[in-house]
Amino acid sequence: MQFTALTSGDGPGSQRKRDLKRRLTSPRSPLLQKLQVGGDGFNLQHPRRLKDRREDAITRRNEQRVSSELQNQQQQCRERFLGRWYHVRQLYAVVSETVTARSEAMASRPKLPPSAGGTSSPSTPAKPSDPLTPAPLHNLTAMSWLIDVAREFRHGFASHRVTMPQMEIAFGSGLQLSLLSARSSTPTAASLRNVFQAFQHESESSTIDYRELLSALVVLDRWREGEKKMVARWFHEFAFPLTENSTAIGDMKMATRGCDLQRMLFTACGDEADEFKMQPFVKELLASMTQRGRSYIAETTFWEYSVLRSCMDTWLVHKRRQDEVAAADIRGRQLQQDLLLLQLMQAERGLMEVEDKLSGAVEARARKSDEMGRRRSFVAATDRVHASRKMQKQKDQRIQYKASRERAVELEAKQAWAAIAEQVAAEVRTATLTWLETAEAKDQINTEATRIFETDAKWIRNELDRDPENAPFRIMPRGCRWQVFLEAPHGAITRKLTKAFYLNTVTYEKYWCGEVVIEECEGIAREVIIQWRIDDALARLNEKEAEWALQRRQNIAATRIQMLFRCRQARSVCRRIIRNSFVKRIDPGSGEIVYFNLARPQETRRRPPKLIDSDEVLIPVESSTWVYRQDIHGSGYYERVDTGETSCGPPDHYILCTRCSVHFVTRRKISSGARYCIGCYANFRYASRREAATVEEESGWTKMPVQPANCMVCRSAAAHFVCTDCTHDATCTRCFNAVHGRLAKSKTHAAATSLVNRASE
């Protein structure tokens, strides 16, 4: 069961108040204890400075307001307490006595079977004519009837505001009593009526908040069980200041001594036993009220401490200024001169504060600008790194792709030449076998067989021992089917038993070098001659392969040179197109150089196109003199690029765009004479391309630099007027009057546009 009057103090607000109290009750710092508050000759009650007097007046008003609010709250709490407490205790005592008597009667009644005549109603104690005298509190027990009554209130009504009949119904249901039949003769009903009148916030109101009544009953029901915290929370509503707290505050009108409050609380007790039971509760109640007073004292002390601290800080600054003036003026001026100097210093201090604020604002703006510059540079560096990595990745991919293609071509060529070499070897072997049957071949076979037969076996063994890797190819040609090897008989590797032998690597025939005969040497010689002819054929084939590879490399180099030349030509063409399509102009908002695309007016770049590379300086500039700018509020003005001069309106003798009337003209249409800025010119060309099937020729336009316009008639004076009906010709005042004043048809022309004194417009 929860009541709004018993709300807990746990929350962010109570946490802040506890922190404030902890700071106020903490000891002062040693430095503040050593300092003499107010200084020599400083009167806190009568401050000399206007600022100090104003602060003291504000502090006194705050203290008076807080004190008056506290007095009002204390007076209201006292009135509520005096008007409610007696009736609440009377109701609790009467109901508790009634419920206790009924419980004792029910317990003492004999358990008899019901009579045949019908069920008998439980006997109720006799109702005396006079009101029941409340029994002593120590004779009462904590009743469960309060829980039943609270449950009836909570379940029976949707709102916490109830009327007198509703309260009687709830009490009657919870106590199982009939309070509506004989309302005037029932003590419980009379107590309820008195309590209802006591808890009415307004005399005209017909409802009360039943949560307040239940909270008061909870206090009387729970004080005997040691739950003093709930009682202290409820008594917070009926508390009034103690004498101890009021002495510290300085207000003794509503003060009550602790013994007097204790005596007032004990008046609700029946005898000494009640007072003895109530004593712990009263002590905790007084401690709680003292703590509340201390909280108020801490808050007041905080305000006084703040005022003293402010006065002390002001005095320290004033004293420091006096010391500086005394050290600077060693000859000692009179009091009037000191006052004048102090006023001058105060004025300078105010100016210095203004300058500090201005410098702080300028520094903050500079830091913000630097931070934005660093951020832009970081973003630009990140974009450059990303672009370079992307380009490097694409370059690596192209290189890898080309290398893979080269490797594939080389592998294919290598496989083709290997197949050709095998085919050549097979054809040479077939032709050589046929040639070996001739007489000339037989002579070579005999000569080679004799050399092999006469070769000493020990010499062969020594060569193989000395150089096992290269010696066999010095004895027999490389690639021959017959090769020379060493063998150790019976597995004993000794120099004495090691022998050399000839081995056919195809048929695995084996001949010992020391036991070979001439017929066997002839067979070996035939294979040697065949291998010689194969080696000659392969040598010629290798020469052809080298010639083919050289020719292939030359073709690749020639193709690459042609591609590089064509790329250079294409790049020069692209750069020329870019120079004709892009214009460098000043961004009105940021003042940075941007690249404007004439072919696509909606496109504006912060960086130049990559293909332009070193030709970026050749991109034309919109204006090298005056440009249109905008401030941080969006208001437009004009700025000169080379000198930094600014103007609210367009400078004199400079012609503005016919369409937007903001930017300076850079193009003029030959057919109509209309002048356009670079943006309007691009939009006009873009719209013409979208509407017409044919593209308008560039020759129909002329370029105009941003410079003061000269008279189209005299060619010497600066132009002052532009007549839209005269093909937008710019003329000086004399020529304009001569042309438009002499011809009758010129008098019907529209009003001319002035080129001077346009700042006020």
Tell which wins on pLDDT, 690 or 628.
628
Q: Residue 270 pLDDT more than 60?
A: no
What average pLDDT does this structure show over 338-355? 88
Strands (E) across 455-607 are located at: 482-487, 499-504, 510-512, 582-586, 593-597, 604-605
Q: Which single residue is written with the structure tokens 């808050």?
A: 299
Identify any residues that bridge with 627 across adjacent strands, giving them in sequence order.
639
The tokens describing 349, both together, are 């201090």
- HSE of 674, CA atoms in CB hemisphere, 13 A: 12
Find out whether 725 and 749 touch, Cβ atoms under 8 Å: yes
Output the pLDDT for position 120.
Answer: 37
Can you tell me the mean pLDDT for 703-709?
Answer: 87
pTM of the model: 0.40
Confidence of residue 269 (pLDDT cuts 50, 70, 90): low
- Which is more confident, 160 or 353? 353
Own/partner contacts of 481-489, CB < 8 Å, gap of 24 or more, are 481/505, 481/506, 481/527, 481/531, 482/524, 482/527, 482/528, 484/460, 484/513, 486/461
Assess whether pLDDT exceeds 50 at residue 20.
no
| pLDDT tens-place string over residues 529-541 | 888 989 899 999 9
Q: Which of 265-279, 509-523, 677-691 has the lowest mean pLDDT?
A: 265-279
Q: Do the Cβ atoms of 720 and 708 come closer than 8 Å? A: no
The Cα 663–Cα 650 span in angstroms is: 9
- R_g of the chain, CA atoms, integer Å: 59
Q: Which residue has the tokens 């905008």?
A: 630
pLDDT at 59: 81
Write down the pLDDT at residue 181.
55
Q: How confident is the model at residue 354 (pLDDT cuts 50, 70, 90)?
A: very high
Q: Which two tokens stand for residue 275?
A: 């007072």
User: Which H or E run includes 409?
Assistant: helix 335-435
Alpha-carbon span 707 to 268, nearest angstrom: 104
Average pLDDT over residues 485-511: 77
Please tell me the predicted confidence (pLDDT) of residue 158: 79
User: In this model, does residue 618 exceed pLDDT 50?
Assistant: yes
Amino acid letter, 200: Q
The pLDDT tens digits of the residues spanning 195-226 come to 888 888 777 778 887 777 776 776 666 555 44
pLDDT at 33 (0 to 100): 44
Q: What is the DSSP letter of 484?
A: E
Is pLDDT of 126 > 70? Answer: no
Residue 161's H or E segment, with its range, is strand 161-162
How distant, in Å, are the alpha carbons of 47, 671, 685, 689 from that of 693? Answer: 90, 20, 13, 7
Residue 643 amino acid letter: T
Q: What is the pLDDT of residue 386?
A: 92
Residue 527's nearest CA partner among 486, 478, 485 is 478
Predicted local confidence at residue 116, as pLDDT = 40
Q: What pLDDT sits at residue 31?
A: 38
Q: How far apart are CA 472 and CA 500, in angstroms?
A: 11
- Judged against a pLDDT cut of 90, whether residue 397 lies above it is answered with yes
Report the percent of the chain where pLDDT is more than 70: 73
Q: Helices 210-222 and 50-108: crossing angle, nearest 10°?
A: 70
pLDDT at 192: 84
Which residues does 721 contact at the CB level (< 8 Å), separation at least 6? 730, 731, 732, 733, 736, 752, 753, 754, 755
Residues 219-263: tens digit of each pLDDT: 666 555 444 444 444 444 444 455 555 554 454 444 555 565 565
Region of residue 93 (phi > 0: left; psi between -120 and 50: alpha; otherwise: beta): alpha
3 state SS of 4: helix
pLDDT at position 371 is 92
Q: Return the bridge partners of 628, or none.
A: 638
Residues 669-681: what's their mean pLDDT? Answer: 87
Burial class (CB in 10 A: 0-12, 13-18, 19+), 447: exposed
Give yes or no for residue 565 having a pLDDT over 90: yes
- Does residue 544 carry a pLDDT above 80? yes
Q: Which residue has the tokens 């004792």?
A: 104
Top mean-pLDDT range of 39-53, 625-639, 728-742: 625-639
Mean of pLDDT over the chain: 76
C-alpha 39/C-alpha 49 separation (Å) is 14
* Angle CA 171–130–147, to nearest 5: 20
CA 215 to the chain's CA centroid: 50
pLDDT value at residue 389: 92
CA distances, 68 to each of 12, 254, 368, 628 (Å): 27, 11, 50, 65
Indicate the SS3 state at residue 25.
Answer: helix
Share of the chain above pLDDT 90, in %: 13
In 3D space, the residue among 495, 493, 475 whose CA is nearest the CA of residue 485 turns out to be 475
Q: Which tokens is 88 given?
A: 């609440």
- In this predicted structure, what is the pLDDT of residue 613? 78
- Give yes or no for residue 1 having a pLDDT over 50: no
Q: Which residues of 46-60 are buried (b: 16+ CB within 10 A; e: fewer)?
A: ebeeeebeebbeeee
61 against 639, higher pLDDT: 639
Q: Which of 248, 259, 358 is nearest to 304 (CA)?
A: 248
Q: Which residues, other chains included, contact 692 with Cβ-Cβ below 8 Å and sequence gap of 6+?
A: none
Per-residue burial over 702-724, b if 16 or more Cβ lie within 10 Å, else e, is eeeebeebbbbbeeeeebbbbbb
Please say if the pLDDT value at position 685 is more than 90.
Answer: no
14: which residues sit within 8 A by CB, 6+ positions away? none
Q: How confident is the model at residue 366 (pLDDT cuts 50, 70, 90)?
A: very high
Sign of the Cα torsion 102, 106, 110, 112 reads positive
**Predicted confidence band of residue 416 (pLDDT cuts 50, 70, 90):** very high
Pure H helices in 109-199: 145-156, 164-175, 187-198
Phi, psi of 701 (to 5 degrees): -130, 155
DSSP 575-602: HHHHHHHEEEEE-TTT--EEEEESS-TT
| CA 394 to each of CA 370, 380, 391, 559: distance values in angstroms, whole numbers, following the listed order | 35, 21, 5, 22
Alpha-carbon distance of 761 to 757, in angstroms, equals 8
pLDDT surpassing 60 at residue 135: no
pLDDT value, residue 6: 34
pLDDT at position 4 is 34
In this prediction, residue 488 carries a pLDDT of: 66
